[in-house]
C-alpha cells in the first residue's frame, strides 16, 4: 500500500500546493432490540478511499471504491481540477512534522473473536431484564455497535500512516409508562479496546429501571435560579456540547463576533476550572493516535486556571489563524473531508468532594445523568433525573430538570470542581456537519454552578 500511494501522489504533487490520499477498510456489526423482539441485526464491510487537493486556498475532493492505479489516478485528476477551478487565494496549512508510522490495533478483548450469537444472547438478556423489571416498564431500547477500521494516509509532504482502530459502544434504556407519561433512564457503555465493557451491567440496569419507574411519581421541579451540583455524566455532556464545539477552529474563524469573545487570554472562569481535549486516552472511544490529516494528536488545554489558552484545529483553521495544529482534523470515514472535531473533551479533576459542594446549600438541585439538549453559546440540557438539596442534604427526586443559560456566564459561575473525575463512554457519537456518529468521549468530576437557571413548573 505504501509504495502504491506514494507513487500515485508523486505523479501529481507538483500540480497543486498539497495533495493527500486516505484509504479505509472497515467491518461493522450492529444489534438492536426494541420491546420484546430484535429490532435490527446487521453486519457489513466497506472499502474505499478519497483524494483531497489544495491549490491557492481552494480544495478539491473525490472519493473512490476501486483501488487500482488507473482509478485512483482518475480521481486525483478530478480533485486537482476542482481545486484549481476554485482556488483564488493563498493556501494556508499549519506546518506539522512529517511522519512514517504503523500503529497496529492495541486491544484487550477483541469483539471480532466473540460469536455473533453470543453478542445477541448478552443483549437479549439485558432486554429481558428490562421488560421483567416492573409492570410499568413495557418498552425497551437496547443497542450495540462495533466497528473495526484499517486506515492508510499518504500526503505530498512525505507522511505515511498505517493505523487500525476499534470502536465499541451502545446503550440500555428502560422506558416506563403511566397515564400517558413516559420516563426513561439509561446505561451506556463504550471502549476502543475492550469488548468486556458490555458485560456485568445487571446492577446498573436494575438501578436504571428503578429510576425510570420512580420518575413517574416524582414531582416536577419548580423553575427558578438555584445552586446546582452536576454529576460527572451531565458535566461531561455540557463541556462537549457547549464549550467543546465553541472551541472548534472554524467556528471562531468564520464568526467575527465569536472571535472577539474567544480571544486568547480571556478569563472565562475561576482558577479552579481547567478544560482540555485529548486524543491520547487509550481505551476511550475518543482515542485517536493520529487524526485524518496525519497529525499526531495531543492533550490540548482549552482553559487553564479559568483562562482561555487554546482551541481545536484542523491544519487549515490553524494555518489561517496562525496557531498550532492540534490533531483535531477528523472525518467520519473516507466519504467525508476532515473538519475540526473533538476527541475526549474533559473538565479536569479538582479538589472538592461532593459533600463539600452540597454542604451549606440551603436550597439547590443535584442534577444527574443526561437525556439530551443543545449546546452553543446559549445552551439547554435536560438531566436524566434530579434531587432537591435542602439544608446541605440530598433529598427527594424531581423530574423535568432542564438547565439553560449563557455558556460564558455559566463558566464564570462554576465555583467548585470535584476530585472524582471519570470518563463516560456510551453509544452514538458526535453529529457535527452531518458526520454521525463520530466516536468521541467526555469526562468530568462533579461540578457546582451558582445561579443556574432551571426550567420547570411554577
pLDDT tens digits along 408-436: 999 999 999 999 999 999 998 999 989 99
- Residue 332 sits at φ, ψ, to 5 deg, of -60, -45
Regarding whether 373 and 352 lie in a shared domain, the answer is: yes
Residues 126 and 144 sit within 8 Å (Cβ to Cβ) = no
Q: What is the mean pLDDT of residues 262-278?
A: 97
pLDDT at 373 over 90: no
Regarding whether 273 and 347 lie in a shared domain, the answer is: yes
Regarding whether 171 and 301 lie in a shared domain, the answer is: no
Distance, in Å, from the CA atom of 312 to the CA atom of 300, rounded to the nearest integer, reads 8
Regarding whether 271 and 231 lie in a shared domain, the answer is: yes
Regarding whether 126 and 55 lie in a shared domain, the answer is: yes
Regarding whether 230 and 177 lie in a shared domain, the answer is: no
Distance, in Å, from the CA atom of 276 to the CA atom of 313, rounded to the nearest integer, reads 13
**Cβ contacts of 210 within 8 Å, gap of 6 or more:** 133, 134
Q: Alpha carbon of 285 to those of 23, 69, 113, 362, 414: distances in Å?
A: 21, 34, 19, 39, 27
pLDDT at 286 over 70: yes
Regarding whether 397 and 320 lie in a shared domain, the answer is: yes
pLDDT tens digits along 22-44: 999 999 999 999 999 999 999 99
Regarding whether 213 and 331 lie in a shared domain, the answer is: no
pLDDT at 339 over 70: yes
- Residue 129 sits at φ, ψ, to 5 deg, of -60, -45
Q: Which residues pair with 154 in a beta bridge?
A: 21, 160
Domain boundary among 182, 217, 252: 217
The pLDDT of residue 374 is 82
* Residue 142: Cβ within 10 Å count: 27
The pLDDT of residue 45 is 97
Buried b (16+ CB within 10 A) or exposed e, 266-276: eebbeebbbbb
Count how many Cα atoms sit within 13 Å of the Cα of residue 253 in the half-sphere of its side chain: 18
pLDDT at 270 over 80: yes
Regarding whether 231 and 141 lie in a shared domain, the answer is: no
Binning pLDDT at 50, 70 and 90, where does residue 457 land?
A: low
Binning pLDDT at 50, 70 and 90, where does residue 334 land?
A: very high
Domain boundary among 192, 217, 242: 217
Q: What is the mean pLDDT of residues 296-310?
A: 97
Structural domain total, the chain: 2
Point out the least confidently predicted range of 18-27, 48-57, 350-359, 368-377.
368-377
Q: What domain range is 77 assigned to?
A: 2-217
Domain boundary among 190, 217, 244: 217
Regarding whether 175 and 260 lie in a shared domain, the answer is: no
Distance, in Å, from the CA atom of 101 to the CA atom of 434, rounded to the nearest integer, reads 30
Q: Alpha carbon of 281 to those of 288, 297, 314, 445: distances in Å?
A: 8, 10, 20, 16
Model confidence, pTM = 0.95
Regarding whether 265 and 212 lie in a shared domain, the answer is: no
Q: What is the mean pLDDT of residues 159-169?
A: 98
Share of the chain above pLDDT 90, in %: 94
Buried b (16+ CB within 10 A) or exposed e, 145-161: bbbbbbbbbbbbbebbb
CATH value at residue 48: 3.30.2290.10
The pLDDT of residue 377 is 86
**Which of the two residues, 45 and 253, has the higher pLDDT score?**
45
Regarding whether 233 and 128 lie in a shared domain, the answer is: no
Amino acid at each position: 500500500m505504501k509504495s502504491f500511494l506514494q507513487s500515485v501522489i508523486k505523479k501529481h504533487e507538483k500540480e497543486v500546493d498539497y495533495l493527500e490520499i486516505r484509504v479505509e477498510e472497515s467491518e461493522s456489526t450492529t444489534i438492536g432490540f426494541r420491546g420484546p423482539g430484535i429490532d435490527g441485526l446487521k453486519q457489513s464491510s466497506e472499502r474505499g478511499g478519497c483524494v483531497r487537493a489544495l491549490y491557492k486556498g481552494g480544495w478539491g475532493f473525490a472519493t473512490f471504491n476501486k483501488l487500482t492505479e488507473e482509478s485512483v489516478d482518475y480521481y486525483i485528476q478530478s480533485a486537482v481540477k476542482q481545486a484549481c477551478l476554485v482556488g483564488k487565494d493563498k493556501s494556508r496549512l499549519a506546518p506539522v512534522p512529517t511522519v512514517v508510522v504503523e500503529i497496529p490495533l492495541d486491544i484487550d478483548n477483541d469483539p471480532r473473536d466473540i460469536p455473533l450469537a453470543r453478542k445477541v444472547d448478552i443483549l437479549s438478556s439485558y432486554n429481558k431484564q428490562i421488560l421483567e423489571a416492573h409492570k410499568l416498564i413495557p418498552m425497551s431500547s437496547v443497542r450495540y455497535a462495533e466497528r473495526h477500521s484499517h486506515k492508510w494516509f499518504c500526503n505530498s509532504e512525505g507522511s505515511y500512516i498505517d493505523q487500525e482502530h476499534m470502536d465499541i459502544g451502545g446503550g440500555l434504556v428502560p422506558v416506563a409508562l403511566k397515564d400517558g407519561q413516559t420516563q426513561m433512564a439509561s446505561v451506556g457503555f463504550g471502549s476502543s479496546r475492550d469488548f468486556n465493557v458490555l458485560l456485568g451491567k445487571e446492577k446498573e440496569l436494575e438501578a436504571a429501571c428503578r429510576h425510570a419507574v420512580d420518575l413517574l411519581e416524582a414531582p416536577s421541579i419548580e423553575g427558578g435560579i438555584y445552586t446546582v451540583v452536576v454529576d460527572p455524566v451531565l458535566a461531561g455532556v455540557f463541556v462537549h456540547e457547549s464549550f467543546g464545539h465553541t472551541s472548534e477552529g472554524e467556528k471562531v474563524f468564520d464568526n467575527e463576533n465569536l472571535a472577539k469573545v474567544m480571544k486568547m487570554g480571556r478569563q472565562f472562569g475561576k482558577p479552579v476550572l481547567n478544560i482540555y481535549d485529548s486524543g491520547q486516552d487509550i481505551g476511550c472511544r475518543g482515542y485517536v493516535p493520529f487524526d485524518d490529516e496525519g497529525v499526531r494528536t495531543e492533550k490540548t488545554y482549552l482553559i487553564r486556571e479559568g483562562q482561555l489558552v487554546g482551541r481545536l484545529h484542523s491544519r487549515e483553521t490553524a494555518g489561517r489563524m496562525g496557531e498550532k495544529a492540534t490533531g483535531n482534523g477528523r472525518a467520519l470515514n473516507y466519504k467525508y473531508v476532515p473538519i475540526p472535531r473533538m476527541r475526549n473533551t474533559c473538565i479536569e479533576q479538582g479538589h472538592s468532594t461532593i459533600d463539600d459542594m452540597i454542604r451549606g446549600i440551603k436550597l439547590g438541585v443535584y442534577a444527574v445523568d443526561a437525556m439530551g439538549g443543545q449546546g452553543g453559546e446559549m445552551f439547554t440540557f435536560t438531566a436524566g433525573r434530579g434531587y432537591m438539596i435542602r439544608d446541605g442534604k440530598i433529598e427527594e427526586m424531581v423530574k423535568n430538570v432542564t438547565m439553560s443559560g449563557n455558556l460564558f456566564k455559566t463558566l464564570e459561575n462554576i465555583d467548585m470542581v470535584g476530585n472524582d473525575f471519570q470518563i463516560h463512554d456510551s453509544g452514538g457519537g458526535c453529529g457535527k456537519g452531518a458526520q454521525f456518529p463520530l466516536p468521541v468521549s467526555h469526562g468530568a468530576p462533579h461540578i457546582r454552578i451558582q445561579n443556574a437557571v432551571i426550567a420547570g413548573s411554577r
